[in-house]
C-alpha cells in the first residue's frame, strides 16, 4: 500500500514538474509563439470591433449619372445592416446589390434624412419593384403630405411617393423618430438630435426638414453625424439647442458639401473625417467653365472652412468603405 501511494506521489510530482517545465520553456524559449498567439487574438478582436461605413458612389460618378445623390450603408460588429437614404432611383440596382450581398435581401435598419428624390429615389423604387427586399425598421421624421404640397413644391413628387410607400408590405416597422431618442443596434447607438420642424416654411423648405442623427460605435467610441441637406435655419437650431451633442469624429457634409450648414456648425462638430456626396463638377464648383466657375460654395467649404481635414471621401470617386476602430478611422478594401 505504501508503495502504491509512493508511486502516485511520484507520478503527480512528475506531472507537476513537467507542466511547470513546459510553461517555463513556452514563456522562455517559446516566447515568440506566445506573442504570435496574442497578436492573432488581438488582430481578430480588431477585425470585429467598431463599425464599417460605406459611401455609395452611384449616380455621383461621371459614368453613372454625374448628378448628386446620397447613400450609405453601415455594418455593425455582428453585421447588422443599416442604410442611410440610398440615393436616386437610378441607384436602385446598386443598393439592392449590397442588400443582397450583406443582408441576403434584408435591411435591419433604414434611416431617412429627408424625402427628396436624390436621397430616397432608390428606396421608393425598391419598395414598388418585385424583389426579395425586407426592411425590419425604417426611422424617419416626415411631415404631412399637405405640408410638402404647400411648402416644398419642387420636392413634392418624391415626398408624396415616400409617404405612400411607407405602407409597403416590405417594411415591418416604421418609427416616427423623436428628438433625444436613442436607438441601440448591436454595438452601435444612434442618437436622434433634431427632427423635422414644420414651422420652418420660409427658408430652404424641404432641405430644412432634414433629420439630424449621430451613429456611434460604442466599443471604440467613434461617431459619425448625418446632416442630410440641412441649411441655415437648422444651423441656428443646432447651435442653440444641440451644440454639445453634435461633436463627432466624422461628418456627412450637409447638402452635398455646398450651401448647407454654417461654418460654426462644422466648428462645433470638429471632425477628423469628411464625407462628400457630390459629383466631380460640384466638388470643383464647375458649371462648365472650369474650376470655381459655378455659384456653389463647395470650394469655400472644403478649402477654407475644412482646410485642415486631410481625410476626405468623395462619392464621385466610387464606393468607399472605412472602418471605425479604436486606432482611428481607416479605409479598407473588401
Looking at the structure, tell me whether residues 32 and 177 fall in a common domain. no
Domains of the chain: total: 2
pLDDT value at 129 more than 60:
yes
Q: Report the predicted TM-score, pTM, of the whole model to 2 decimal places.
A: 0.87
Q: Which of the two residues, 202 and 94, has the higher pLDDT score?
A: 94
Same-domain status, 154 and 297? yes
147-161: pLDDT as tens digits: 999 999 999 999 999
CATH code for the domain of 325: 3.60.15.10
Grid cell of 14 as nine digits = 512528475
How much is the pLDDT for 24? 42
pLDDT digits (tens, 9 = 90+) for 259-268: 899 999 999 9
Q: Write the DSSP string, 178-239.
A: -TT-EEEETTEEEEEEE---TT--SSSGGGGG--EEEEEETTTTEEEEE-TT--HHHHHHHH
In this structure, the answer to whether residues 102 and 32 fall within a common structural domain is no
Grid cell, residue 21, equals 517545465
Percent of the chain at pLDDT exceeding 90: 84
Given a cut of 50, whether residue 16 has pLDDT beyond it is no
pLDDT tens-digit series, residues 210-251: 999 999 999 999 999 999 999 999 999 999 999 999 999 999
CA 167 to chain centre: 25
Verify that 195 and 138 share a domain, yes or no. yes
Coil, helix or strand at residue 97: helix
Order of strands across the sheet that contains 250-252? 182-185, 188-194, 212-217, 222-226, 250-252, 273-276, 311-314
For residue 305, give the DSSP letter: I
Same domain, residue pair 211 and 274: yes
312 pLDDT higher than 90? yes
pLDDT (mean) for 35-44: 55
- Measured CA to CA, the distance from residue 195 to residue 141 in angstroms comes to 6
Asked if 324 and 235 sit in the same domain, the reply is yes
CA distance 209 to 82: 21
Domain shared by 182 and 256, yes or no = yes
Separation CA 164–CA 236 (nearest Å): 31
Q: Which helix (H) or strand (E) holds 102?
A: helix 92-103
Domain of 34 in residue numbering reads as 2-42
Separation CA 252–CA 72 (nearest Å): 10
Q: CA-CA distance, 193 to 169, in Å (whole number)? A: 29
**Which pLDDT band, with edges at 50, 70 and 90, does 29 fall under?**
very low
175 and 27 co-located in one domain: no
Residues 14 and 112 in one domain: no
Residue 241 pLDDT: 97
Quick one: average pLDDT of 116-129?
98
Claim to verify: residue 19 and residue 60 sit in the same structural domain: no
Amino acid at each position: 500500500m505504501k508503495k502504491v501511494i509512493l508511486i502516485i506521489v511520484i507520478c503527480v510530482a512528475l506531472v507537476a514538474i513537467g507542466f511547470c517545465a513546459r510553461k517555463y520553456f513556452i514563456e522562455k524559449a517559446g516566447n515568440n509563439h506566445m506573442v504570435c498567439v496574442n497578436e492573432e487574438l488581438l488582430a481578430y478582436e480588431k477585425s470585429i470591433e467598431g463599425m464599417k461605413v460605406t459611401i455609395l458612389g452611384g449616380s455621383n460618378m461621371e459614368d453613372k449619372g454625374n448628378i448628386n445623390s446620397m447613400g450609405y450603408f453601415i455594418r455593425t460588429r455582428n453585421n447588422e445592416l443599416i442604410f442611410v437614404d440610398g440615393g436616386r432611383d437610378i441607384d436602385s440596382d446598386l443598393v439592392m446589390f449590397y442588400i443582397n450581398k450583406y443582408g441576403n435581401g434584408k435591411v435591419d435598419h433604414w434611416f431617412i434624412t429627408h424625402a427628396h428624390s436624390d436621397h430616397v429615389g432608390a428606396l421608393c423604387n425598391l419598395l414598388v419593384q418585385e424583389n426579395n427586399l425586407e426592411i425590419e425598421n425604417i426611422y424617419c421624421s416626415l411631415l404631412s403630405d399637405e405640408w410638402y404640397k404647400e411648402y416644398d413644391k419642387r420636392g413634392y413628387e418624391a415626398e408624396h411617393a415616400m409617404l405612400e410607400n411607407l405602407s409597403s408590405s416590405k417594411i415591418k416597422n416604421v418609427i416616427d423618430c423623436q428628438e433625444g431618442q436613442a436607438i441601440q443596434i448591436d454595438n452601435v447607438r444612434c442618437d436622434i438630435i433634431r427632427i423635422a420642424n414644420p414651422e420652418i416654411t420660409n427658408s430652404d423648405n424641404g432641405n430644412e426638414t432634414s433629420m439630424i442623427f449621430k451613429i456611434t460605435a460604442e466599443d471604440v467610441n467613434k461617431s459619425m453625424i448625418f446632416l442630410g441637406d440641412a441649411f441655415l435655419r437648422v444651423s441656428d437650431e443646432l447651435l442653440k439647442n444641440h451644440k454639445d451633442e453634435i461633436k463627432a469624429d466624422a461628418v456627412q457634409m450637409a447638402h452635398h458639401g455646398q450651401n448647407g450648414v454654417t461654418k460654426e456648425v462644422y466648428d462645433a462638430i470638429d471632425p477628423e473625417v469628411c464625407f462628400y456626396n457630390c459629383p466631380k463638377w460640384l466638388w470643383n464648383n464647375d458649371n462648365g467653365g472650369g474650376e470655381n466657375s459655378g455659384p456653389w460654395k463647395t470650394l469655400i467649404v472644403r478649402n477654407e472652412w475644412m482646410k485642415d481635414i486631410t481625410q476626405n471621401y468623395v462619392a464621385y470617386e466610387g464606393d468607399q468603405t472605412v472602418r471605425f476602430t479604436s486606432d482611428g478611422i481607416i479605409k479598407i478594401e473588401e
